[in-house]
Structure 1
Amino acid sequence: MSHLPCPPSTSLVAQLRKAGCVFAEEEAALITATAHTPRERARMAERRSSGTPLEHVLGWARFHDLRLRVEPGVFVPRPRTEFLATKALARTRPGALVVDLCCGTGALGAYLATRQRGVRLHATDIDATSVRCAQHNIAPLGGRAHHGDLFSPLPATLRGRVDVVVVNAPYVPTEQIALLPTEVRDHEPRRSLDGGLDGLDVVRRVCAHARAWLAPRGHLLIQANPGQRTDAMAALTAGGLLATSLTCDDTDTCVVIGQRR
């Protein structure tokens, strides 16, 4: 006999649709499969109907084929960041030392550590809740999450030895924060979104300090918007790195890449 999950009730689908959830059927199915009791399902449905991001309601998010813990208030990994993950993987050799900056859930580091054997993984975030969440996700992979600003909490012994630094830093210009969906503005930390006047404040700081941490021929990969490509590459060059970029038209995403000469 098949033991497939019970389909969501029509009332749950209707509740989510009324709340404006575009993919009400799919979300209802995920809530139904995740909830352990009818009471928990009702609470989850109410939270989602009030605008809480689905991933915060479920307590997990999908990134590639990984299922990652996501706690309330933690930045939710986006499908568009999978482009950055695949480009970083192409530059990650077996046994590489990898650092995931502004890690959030640790999605990027977790992806690299599950796709390439022997990866030695460190992750950092300025938000304590994100660090706790990332530690849960990467500890089974041998990774370690550190609480602090960018490179500062990393062990000093890693300086000049890191093969790949992968970064999904905040890159939304301050004046565009108000244009983001309500569930993002209200439920994800602003400092994980707001990149300053042109969106590149944190990116420039990363670029300014990355060379000291990279191994010879090591790579720094950063997600940005295509319109920020020129300025982001200039920041890489100013930091003493050889700059290139790749763009994904399907997701309107750009990855700028710096390599230590």
Structure 2
Amino acid sequence: MPHRFDPSPSSRDAVAATLRAAGCVFAEDEADMILAAADGDPGAVDRMVTRRAAGLPLELVVGWAEFGGRRILVEPGVFVPRRRTEFLVEQALALAPDASAVVDLCCGSGAVGAALAAALGAVDLHAADVDPAAVRCARRNVAPLGGHVHQGDLFDALPARLRGRVDILAANVPYVPSDEIALLPAEARDHEPRAALDGGTDGLDVLRRVAAEAPAWLAPGGHVLTETSPHQARAALTVFTEAGLDARLAICEERPARVVIGTRR
């Protein structure tokens, strides 16, 4: 019979010790995830521990990230969804619990769109990203929920029939100022696409483009939601207001998260 890896306490301890030595703060929890993902294959454990100890994000090591109570499949070269972004999903659902048309713009893995579709049920879901790798990954997460994924630059990727019909426009755009990319944690800086992080000189370049076109795509009373940082929140609100949207800021200090919400008048 082939050898089966025994996930005994000593094996878990050995994995956790290696991860801890590599600087992983939650080494025991990560060890449990790696052992579960390896499914009894000692070679897989060795490979995953080696990759994690070398600095690869845990989500890319095991192939998934937890988001909104779901396992979102992730792949190398694709932005890993952050748990704080669950706050954006919660805000969208509170604003439009009966939404019928949802767009996940700059979708990355499609985590936001998948979480919204899972909560809303029968919904016309469309996700879009300019990066082919993100589009491929998003399809794995969105298609099982009946959603559609499109490749292209922002609204250019979307079907024209959605104009004026979108109830929830989730646009988790890149918002890190270009000269602050080097200050990001290595897991993001070294393993995620720069286009998914870099928001231009002040971090608001992509947000301005989204805000300028959002009113034409939103249904009457529809909402556009985007994440921002504490020091950008005031400027982001101004961007939405100048685009003709009613704008407000939602804050969750616990995660922490800040979401700018624009509503079509």
Scaled by the length of structure 2, what TM-score is found?
0.94
Q: In 2, Cα distance between the equivalents of 1:11 and 1:125? A: 40
Say whether residues 1:79 and 2:78 are aligned partners.
no
Q: How does 1:189-208 map to 2 (within 5 A)?
A: 189-208=193-212
Q: In 2, Cα distance between the equivalents of 1:93 and 1:152? A: 27
Task: Tell me how far 1:95 sits from its aligned partner.
Answer: 5.1
Say whether residues 1:164 and 2:168 are aligned partners.
yes
RMSD of aligned C-alpha atoms?
1.3
Residue equivalent to 1:13: 16
Residue equivalent to 2:57: 53
Q: Deviations over 1:188-217 (max 9, x none)?
A: 001101111111111111001111111111
Task: Tell me how far 1:63 sits from its aligned partner.
Answer: 0.4
Residue equivalent to 1:250: 254
Residue equivalent to 2:238: 234
Residue of 23, 27, 46 corresponding to 1:24: 27
Structure 1 residues 27 and 223 mapped into 2: Cα distance closer, same or farther (>3 Å)?
A: same
Local SS of the residue matching 1:21? coil
Q: Deviations over 1:118-153 (max 9, x none)?
A: 221000011111111111101111101111111111
Local SS of the residue matching 2:222? strand
Contact 1:236–1:242 (CA under 8 A) maintained in structure 2: yes
Aligned identity (percent) is 56
Structure 1 residues 61 and 137 mapped into 2: Cα distance closer, same or farther (>3 Å)?
A: same
Alignment coverage as a number of residue pairs: 257
Q: In 1, Cα distance between the equivalents of 2:254 and 2:161? A: 40
Residue of 150, 161, 182 corresponding to 1:146: 150
Task: Tell me how far 1:117 sits from its aligned partner.
Answer: 2.5
One-letter identity of the residue aligned with 1:35:
A
Q: Deviations over 1:14-68 (max 9, x none)?
A: 1111111111111011000001311011101100010000000000000021001
For structure 1, the 5+ residue unaligned runs are none
Q: In 2, Cα distance between the equivalents of 1:182 and 1:22? A: 15
Q: In 1, Cα distance between the equivalents of 2:188 and 2:8? A: 30
Scaled by the length of structure 1, what TM-score is found?
0.95
Contact 2:72–2:111 (CA under 8 A) maintained in structure 1: yes
Residue equivalent to 1:188: 192
Task: Tell me how far 1:168 sits from its aligned partner.
Answer: 1.1
Task: Tell me how far 1:6 sits from its aligned partner.
Answer: 5.3
Structure 1 residues 156 and 19 mapped into 2: Cα distance closer, same or farther (>3 Å)?
A: same
Q: In 2, Cα distance between the equivalents of 1:175 and 1:247? A: 26
Say whether residues 1:130 and 2:134 are aligned partners.
yes
